[in-house]
Amino acid sequence: MNWILLLEQVLNGVQLGVLLFLLAAGLTLVFGIMDLVNLAHGSLYMVGAYFAATFTSWTGSFVLAIFLAVPATLLVGVVVEVICLRTLYQRNHLDQVLATFGLILFFNEAVRLVWGPAGLDVPLPDFLNSNFEILPGVPYPTYRVMIIATGIAVALGLYFLVAKTRIGMLIRAGATNREMVGALGVDIKLLYTLIFGLGAALAGLAGVMAGPIFTVETGMGEGILILAFVVIVIGGIGSVRGAFVAALIVGLIDTVGRSFLPDILGLVLSNQYADTAAPALSSMLIYLLMATILAFRPAGLFPPSNG
């Protein structure tokens, strides 16, 4: 086995995991605290990526675009929350699924109208578009290193926010008992809008960082949204820590599985069968993982302590 290739694939897996975490953190917070299933979370990721593309071409700087696109996505999230989602908190999950499904249709079409049907590319500045020697003689793209670093920094920041600050205390309290927090005089509406905005900003950040790697196109948020769902189901819905662990697991298994499964299958099957089965099987891996975990722990790896 090629160890350098394995190292690269592991890093790619961590990088996917980090992106998944940014999406899943918002999803799991919004679900854990507001009890809202938000399918349109992937649309915010998409909007973030489009904003990044536009701001990059306006300002000529990708770094500047990050700092413009993330607040812009936050703003979109807050507007959506205030206009549409706020009334859905009291509804059952089915209503929430349907309404946010409607939002996806709306956002996909709106994006197509504003930015056109063709995909966009986000160019990287020179200092990111280079290679970084992670080990002597093993180059790895600097930009991907930056994604991993940013993701881990955000995860640490989020941990600090939730565990150590007053806002975080309210968030945790809101997840445990919403009515009681409201009765103690906290402006619940404002808190919810804030949390949704935070989730939107994280999704936007994921979209911005994904922009230069994937093509920016309509519907780009849907595939990764379903992966993020798998992540929060495995991690335990409502648990940020669970989302982080599960995101890394899913990212690693998906990436490493895709690149090594053909070889592994080749050991037991003839090449022809291995080549046929590997693509189908490797895309099934994370769902098999999810099914296995749920068969033993129906509430995920880190179920919220109470609810």
Closer CB to another protein, residue 200 or residue 290?
A: 290
Residue 240 in the binding site for another protein (CB under 8 A):
no
Q: Is 248 buried (19+), middle (13-18) or exposed (0-12) by CB count in 10 A?
A: buried
Residue type, 141: P
Interface with another protein (CB under 8 A), residue from 8, 11, 18, 31: 31
Interface with another protein (CB under 8 A), residue from 113, 149, 169, 184: 113
Cβ–Cβ contacts within 10 Å for residue 54, how many? 19
Reduced to 3 states, what is the DSSP secondary structure of residue 136? Answer: coil
Distance CA 97, CA 88 (A): 10
Distance CA 287, CA 123 (A): 33
Q: How far is the CB of 87 from another protein (least distance, A)?
A: 6
Size of the site for another protein (CB under 8 A): 46
Residue 137 in the binding site for another protein (CB under 8 A):
no
Distance CA 143, CA 131 (A): 8
Interface with another protein (CB under 8 A), residue from 14, 53, 69, 99: 99
Q: Fill in the per-residue mask, 32 to 71: x = in contact with another protein (CB under 8 A), - = not in contact.
A: -----x----------------------------------
Handedness of CA 289, 248, 304, 99 (dihedral sign): negative
Q: Fill in the per-residue mask, 193 to 222: x = in contact with another protein (CB under 8 A), - = not in contact.
A: -----------------------------x
Helical H runs in the chain? 3-34, 41-59, 62-83, 93-115, 142-164, 166-176, 178-183, 188-210, 220-235, 240-268, 271-296
Interface with another protein (CB under 8 A), residue from 44, 52, 103, 122: 103
Residue 156 in the binding site for another protein (CB under 8 A):
no
Interface with another protein (CB under 8 A), residue from 233, 247, 261, 274: 233
Q: Fill in the per-residue mask, 288 to 307: x = in contact with another protein (CB under 8 A), - = not in contact.
A: x-xx--xx--xxx-------
Phi first, then psi: what are they for 104, rounded to 5°?
A: -60, -45
Contacts of 78 (CB under 8 A, 6+ apart): 193, 196, 197, 200
Question: What are the residues binding another protein (CB under 8 A)?
Answer: 31, 37, 84, 87-88, 91, 93-95, 97-99, 101-110, 112-113, 222, 226, 229-230, 232-233, 237, 276, 279-281, 283-284, 287-288, 290-291, 294-295, 298-300
